[in-house]
Amino acid sequence: MRHLLLALPFALLPLVAAQAHEAHEHGSLGAHEHGVGRLNAALDGQTLELELQSPAMNLVGFEHPATSDADKAKVAAVRALLDKPLELFNLPKAAGCIVANQELQSPLFGDPAPEDADDDDDDDHAPEAAGSTPAAGAEHHHDHSEIHAHYQFTCATPTALKTLDLGQVFKTFPATHKIQVQLITGSGQQGVDATPEAATLKF
């Protein structure tokens, strides 16, 4: 499912390194900052892949295991919203995109640490400090629960994908104040920060 996104850590290493450096300067790990999410997007032919990573706090409002009925209801509601990516990402109808595959992962959903956590940690060099063992990586992600959503779309008319509108993501999850986007298309790659005031990105 992630054949396009597998190339992202390598293709975007300079961008990731720059973001990680900036985050370290501000006293943050960069990988887990409340109010900030990350989106990797890759468009190749008729295939569009989106990978959204966010601290659970941004989407659910907490990061502890959902034990109360109220917390479980919040987690279920957020999962239902994430299960509708065509609405969430407001893809142009003219592009004729359909969901070919999707996967949601989070400790809050009862999942173990995401299988690509090692890739993420390698990018921002977090695990070296904690000892780069899978156990240490899993521990880190349970201390700071994240929600990872992977989507693969098949688009009949990819030329109609002129923009990626994240406005609905910000409206749906108002605790998200910024999304760090890394975008790869046939014409190159770009890194940009999307905000509620500047939520539309050009492919």
Per-residue model confidence as pLDDT tens digits over 79-129:
999 999 999 999 999 999 999 999 999 999 987 654 444 444 444 443 443
Per-residue model confidence as pLDDT tens digits over 125-164:
434 433 433 443 333 334 579 999 999 999 999 999 999 9
CA end-to-end span of the chain: 21
SS3 track for 111-131: CCCCCCHHHHHHHHCCHHHHC
User: Who wins on pLDDT, 195 or 143?
Assistant: 195
Mean residue pLDDT of the chain comes to 79
- The distance from CA 124 to its chain's CA centroid, rounded to whole angstroms, is 15
| pLDDT value of residue 203 | 84
Instruction: Give me the long-range contacts of 140-146 (CB less than 8 A, separation at least 24).
Output: 141/107, 141/113, 141/114, 141/117, 142/107, 142/113, 144/32, 144/55, 144/63, 145/55, 145/56, 145/63, 145/64, 145/106, 145/107, 145/108, 146/32, 146/53, 146/54, 146/55, 146/56, 146/106, 146/107, 146/114
User: Who wins on pLDDT, 40 or 6?
Assistant: 40
Residue 13 scores a pLDDT above 90: no
Give the number of domains in the chain: 1
User: Who wins on pLDDT, 122 or 191?
Assistant: 191
Which tokens go with 81?
A: 């919203």
* Per-residue pLDDT band at 21 (split at 50, 70, 90): very low
User: Who wins on pLDDT, 19 or 85?
Assistant: 85
Residue 186 scores a pLDDT above 50: yes
Percent of the chain scoring above 90 in pLDDT = 60
Residue 51 scores a pLDDT above 60: yes
Domain limits for position 118? 5-26+34-189+196-202
